[in-house]
Amino acid sequence: MDYELEQLARVGETLGPDKFDLIGASMGALVAVAWAAAHPETVRRLVLYGGWVSGAMISTPSVRAHLLGLVESHWGLGSDVLTDIFAPDASPAAREEFGRYQRASSTAATARSLLAMSYDLDISDLLPEVRTPTLVLHRAGDRAAPVAQAAALARGIPHAQLVVLPGRSHLPYVGDADSLVAPIRRFLGLRSLRRGARTLTPRQTQVAALVGDGCTNREIARRLGIDERSAEGHVERIRVRLGFTSRAQIAAWYAAQKNRSGPLK
């Protein structure tokens, strides 16, 4: 936790003296609570999605031990099991892509450490220290973190609001993401997004398809006859337009669209 807070502090330093809004998802919700409790002068609004109070309450000891052992001994199978827990509503192609993303971005040892940390953390003593206006969101059927833990978060933080949404997926961008985004934007005082905004230009669709194929920016540039910086710019604009934070999300989105309607033109 100390290391997570140190990283957050470095980001906060770049934002200047003004308060900022802080959104924590999954284990990030626990980090966000710890930050808000220790640095109330820095946070304007706090949003917690898919979080919990005590990792020991996420699942039974036997299930926790089984998952830790599986991730450590067989990361390929372990990543697939985690994907099924995190994103049961995703298409088969999206689940496959997310599994590849997990294996590419983490070793088995690191994955086990992070999972163990999620089970070990307990922020119950920090909740009463949070004085920031707080919104707690959770999907009712979340398979990674029980909704009872969201209720415990909201009860423990003074005057926190709790919004429970339908759905099973732990990943916020899987399933009905719009119903999740809407209450967050209202809470933060932001205008509603226009429907139909998650569309791409024909060129951006080409780039998204290549991202889905696992192409680097250099490979995209070569295939489309453009320079690498232009390819990088296209990927960034796609990410912003779709509200994503990673190439894996772009690839998963393209795969889902293709599954529904065939190859996009």
Write the pLDDT tens digit of every residue in 201-223. 889 999 999 999 999 999 999 99
DSSP calls for 13-61:
HTT-SS-EEEEEETHHHHHHHHHHHH-GGGEEEEEEES--SBGGGTS-H
Confidence at residue 118, expressed as pLDDT on a 0 to 100 scale? 94
Residue range of the domain that includes 236: 202-258
- Domains in the chain: how many in total? 3
44 & 135 share domain: yes
**pLDDT confidence tier of residue 90, bands split at 50, 70 and 90:** confident
Weakest mean pLDDT among 69-83, 123-137, 228-242:
228-242
Work out the mean pLDDT of the chain and round it to a whole number: 91
Residues 6+ apart with CB under 8 A from 136: 48, 49, 51, 150, 153, 154, 157, 160, 161, 162, 163
43 & 91 share domain: no
**CATH code for the domain of 228:** 1.10.10.10
**pLDDT confidence tier of residue 176, bands split at 50, 70 and 90:** confident
126 & 21 share domain: yes
Q: Which whole number is the average pLDDT over 126-130?
A: 98
What amino acid occupies position 53? Answer: V
Confidence at residue 261, expressed as pLDDT on a 0 to 100 scale? 57
Q: What is the pTM of this model?
A: 0.74
Distance CA 241, CA 250 (A): 10
Residue closest to 121 by CA, chosen among 160, 63, 64, 169: 64
The verdict on residue 156 lying in a domain is yes
- Residue 265, pLDDT above cutoff 70: no
**pLDDT confidence tier of residue 93, bands split at 50, 70 and 90:** confident
- Secondary structure class of 162 (helix, strand, coil): strand
Confidence at residue 139, expressed as pLDDT on a 0 to 100 scale? 96
- Residue 89, pLDDT above cutoff 90: no
**CATH code for the domain of 38:** 3.40.50.1820
Residues 6+ apart with CB under 8 A from 151: 162
45 & 139 share domain: yes
What amino acid occupies position 32? Answer: A
229 & 154 share domain: no
Helices (H), the chain: 2-13, 27-38, 61-73, 75-86, 92-105, 108-120, 147-156, 177-187, 202-212, 217-224, 228-242, 247-261
Length of the chain: 265
